[in-house]
């Protein structure tokens, strides 16, 4: 009788463990596949000349010029872009074409904007 009780408890414990492992794995997969995380949206080519995007690109260039002693970048155009909206604001990831010392270069920049508070922050410029 004791053997049956122990075997039953062991079977329940093993079943519970497998259930827990598979449920956790399934939740992790849902989390990684969720569109809420990393839900970047492409900016269509016709919208790349939108005055707001051009203003954001110029903000990135002007900020870089003021923070870097020798930078003299001049905005030319935006070649690609995407954005992500969350509760805090909008993050823009733009490929900017800029002139530096008579040479065209492409730079990737990430700018965060909170339009409620009228705040922009340059996250990166490479």
| 5 and 63 part of one domain | no
Distance from C-alpha of 79 to C-alpha of 96, rounded to nearest angstrom:
6
| 74 and 93 part of one domain | yes
| 30 and 45 part of one domain | no
| 98 and 118 part of one domain | yes
| 55 and 102 part of one domain | yes
Q: What are phi and psi of 69, to 5 degrees?
A: -60, -40
Q: Quickly tell me which residue has 């449920």 as its tokens.
A: 23
Q: What is the pLDDT of residue 92?
A: 99
Compute CA 32 distance to the chain's CA centroid, rounded to the nearest angstrom. 14
Whether the pLDDT of residue 79 is over 70: the answer is yes
| 53 and 111 part of one domain | yes
Distance from C-alpha of 106 to C-alpha of 28, rounded to nearest angstrom:
37
Whichever domain contains 98, its CATH number is 3.10.450.10
| 23 and 82 part of one domain | no
Q: What is the pLDDT of residue 119?
A: 96
pLDDT in tens, 20-49: 445 444 444 443 444 455 699 999 999 999
| 108 and 56 part of one domain | yes
| Domain membership of residue 71 as a residue range | 41-125
Distance from C-alpha of 87 to C-alpha of 77, rounded to nearest angstrom:
29
Global pTM reads 0.69
| 10 and 56 part of one domain | no
Q: What is the pLDDT of residue 40?
A: 97
Number of domains in the chain: 2
More confident site: 116 or 53: 53
Closest CA to 107 of 69, 67, 84, 80: 80
| 98 and 59 part of one domain | yes
Distance from C-alpha of 47 to C-alpha of 51, rounded to nearest angstrom:
9
| 49 and 30 part of one domain | no
- Which two tokens mark 113? 């904007």
| 10 and 72 part of one domain | no
Distance from C-alpha of 125 to C-alpha of 110, rounded to nearest angstrom:
7
């Amino acid at each position: 009788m004791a053997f049956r009780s122990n075997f039953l408890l062991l079977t329940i414990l093993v079943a519970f463990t497998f259930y827990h492992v598979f449920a956790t794995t399934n939740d992790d997969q849902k989390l990684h596949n969720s569109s809420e995380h990393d839900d970047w949206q492409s900016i269509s080519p016709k919208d790349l000349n939108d005055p707001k995007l051009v203003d954001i690109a110029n903000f990135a260039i002007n900020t870089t010029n003021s923070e870097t002693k020798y930078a003299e970048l001049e905005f030319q155009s935006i070649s690609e872009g995407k954005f992500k909206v969350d509760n805090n604001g909008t993050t823009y990831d733009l490929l900017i074409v800029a002139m530096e010392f008579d040479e065209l270069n492409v730079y990737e920049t990430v700018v965060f904007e909170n339009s409620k508070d009228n705040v922009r922050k340059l996250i990166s410029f490479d």
